[in-house]
Structure formats: structure tokens, C-alpha cells
Amino acid sequence: SSEVLEAIENVIQDVLKSLAQKKAPVLTLANRSDWRNIEFKDSVGLQMIPCCTTKQIRIDCPRSAPKFALMLKILSMIYKMVQSNTYATKRDIYYSDTLLFGSQSVVDNIINDISCMLKIPRRSLHILSTTKGFVAGNLSYTEEDGTKVNCTCSATVFTVPSNVQGIKNLISHAKFMLIVEKDATFQRLLDDDFCNKLSPCIMITGRGVPDLNTRLLVRKLWDTFQIPIFTLMDADPHGVEIMCIYKYGSVSMSFEAHHLTVPSIKWLGLLPSDLERLNIRKDVLIPFTKQDQKKLASIQKRPYIACQPMWKKELEIMAASKLKAEIQVLTSLSSDYLSRVYLPNKLQFGGWL
């Protein structure tokens, strides 16, 4: 905490120095959304390069002055929380002054900028993410406050803890981990008792694009158990994008890649080639939108696709067909096809990439 306080004090000192010299204070931020600032490493995923391009938030520029003020406001809130050892969610910060901040996304963006500028993980800033992910299966652990969580006993779903770093005594006999894109598929697999039928496993869903805590939990489970991790996503550009976030990270959070990515994650399904192999009827597939085409083209250009020839091939199949499919299309073969046939066969015969 002294490190965090010192980092914030240094920022404020620079602001005061500029004012004393009658200069306009400036906050310098790394350009988090610029691909030129990102390098791809097999072992880490997408990470920010040390000498990256920056942008300046100036107090004497009408466009950036409001952001400058909001950054100082949130820095002062963080400073007080670290001093008093209290925590707040990003939502709490937004609701402390909705008129000032304008929207939740403004707060989220500024917090990520501050975390990147100070080179301090968000958790150390005493800001908690709101968790939306779920976990189930063969896993038990103790939360920071001493609460014992046992997912193994039943088909109960547990919310991913809001302080993943604080959990301890992790125990599991799982043979693998399955990351499921959507909540509906996750619930369906739970109803079919998938976690116990084939062999014990841990199931996680970020319910779409994963929040920070879900990604941290996947990484923590990988570090602790070193078991294979598979993803089950829709066969569409959005599903591929979500899988890449778990595996390689995102551009905007590349400064925290070391804590968040698991490059050993495997793509289990739904593969574009599966649709042809399983003779899925064309009438249950969905035609691409312009947005889908744009998203797929951008994914195909990314640095990590070049070192994944099998993925490249699957994306080419998707691009050529201009059709996408949700995991639910497997119910057109039979209602329990996913848990009874598709997943057992894939896991048994190595049908992943």
C-alpha cells in the first residue's frame, strides 16, 4: 500500500511542480488501444512494449481538461481507500457522483488508465470489479473472509469471488477445465451432470466477454492445478474473440497480461469444420452480418493467428461460408447431443486445436 500511496503522491507532486512553474500540468498515459504498442509473446500473449507511444491529458486543452479533472478525482478516492484499507467497486465509484462521471464506462476507462499509468494492478488500487462469472464442478476453496466454498457437492453454481487473489486452500481432483462462453450452455451442462459424468472437471463461464475476476480465476486455477483447459464457444467471430481474450488477453488490458492470460488454452468447439463434419442443416445456421465480416477480418490479421495454422484454417472456413452457429445448433441432432456425444468424443479422441 505504501507503494501505491507513493505512486499517487509522485503524480500530484508533478502537477504541483508544473503549477509552481506556471506551466499547464500534464498526465502522460500509454496508448492502450494502439496495436503498435503491443507485442505478441507465445508464453504470455499480448503485452505492452516498454517504450510505447503515449498520449497527454492536458489541463489547458478543452478536450482533455474534463478527463484530467476526473483522473485527479479518482486518484484522490483511491488514495483515501488505500490509507483507510477500504475497498469499492467501479460501480460504487460511479454512483458516488453520477452527474460528475456521466457514465459507468467513463469510470471504467479512467480506472484502467490509472492502473496502467501507475503500473499497479487494479486490485492493489483497492478497486474491486463487479463479478458476473460462474464456477461449478470439482473444486473447493476458502475465500479471503474465511467462507468455505465447495462446488463439488452439488450442481450448485457459485459466483466467481470478487477477490480472486485472496482465495486459498484450493482443492480439486478435476482432470480438465472447461470454459463455456454462454450462461445457457453452462446451465445445460450442469443439468446434464456433465461435471461428474465423463471425469471430474471444473466449469467456468464469464457469461459472454469475461470480466477481470473470471480471467484471474482461470489463471489462478491454471497456476494451481496445471490441468488442460478447453473452451466451448459459438462458431462465430464473437466466440473466437472471447476465446482469444482468455488465451492471449486484450489490447486494452495488455499491461496486466502476466496475471490474466493462459496461452495453453485449447479450442475444443464449436469449430466451423464441425458444422460440415456433423452435417448440420444450413437452415439452422445464421448468415454473417457486415459487423461479423469486419470482426473476423480483424481477428485474422492479429499476430497470434499466424502461429496457429489450424485456427487460421478454421477462420478461413468461417469466412468462406459466411455462416455462423451457436452451440445450441447441436440440439438439432438431439436434445442432449452436446453432453452425451459431442464433448465426450472430442475429449476422448483429441478433437481440439
144 and 256 inside one domain = yes
pLDDT at 153: 66
Active site residue 304: no
At 55-82, the pLDDT tens digits run 888 888 888 888 899 999 999 999 999 9
Of 31, 30, 49, 29, which is closest to residue 39 (Cα–Cα)?
Answer: 49
Average pLDDT over residues 140-153: 85
Other CB atoms within 10 A of residue 169 CB = 10
Q: What are phi and psi of 70, to 5 degrees?
A: -65, -35
Q: pTM for this one?
A: 0.81
Q: How confident is the model at residue 318 (pLDDT cuts 50, 70, 90)?
A: very high
47 and 188 inside one domain = no
Q: Which of 79, 87, 94, 95 is the catalytic position?
A: 95
| pLDDT of 286 over the 70 cut | yes
Average pLDDT over residues 303-309: 85
At 22-51, the pLDDT tens digits run 888 888 887 777 777 777 777 788 777 777
Contacts of 196 (CB under 8 A, 6+ apart): 138
Domain boundary among 128, 161, 177: 128
pLDDT at 154: 64
- Residue-averaged pLDDT of the chain: 87
The Cα 248–Cα 240 span in angstroms is 11
Instruction: Tell me: cis bond preceding 270? Omega within 30 of 0 counts.
Output: yes
CATH code of residue 232: 3.40.1360.10
* Residue of higher predicted confidence among 38 and 146: 146
| pLDDT of 305 over the 90 cut | no
Alpha carbon 47 to chain centroid, angstroms: 14
pLDDT at 86: 87
CB 284 within 8 A of CB 329: yes
Q: How confident is the model at residue 145 (pLDDT cuts 50, 70, 90)?
A: confident
The Cα 64–Cα 66 span in angstroms is 6
121 and 218 inside one domain = no
Q: What is the identity of the amino acid at 30? A: A
Of the listed ranges 47-51, 98-102, 168-172, the least confidently predicted one is 47-51
Q: Which domain holds residue 243?
A: 134-349
At 115-129, the pLDDT tens digits run 888 888 877 888 887
Domain boundary among 73, 97, 128: 128
Q: What is the dihedral sign for C-alpha 239, 242, 243, 244?
A: positive
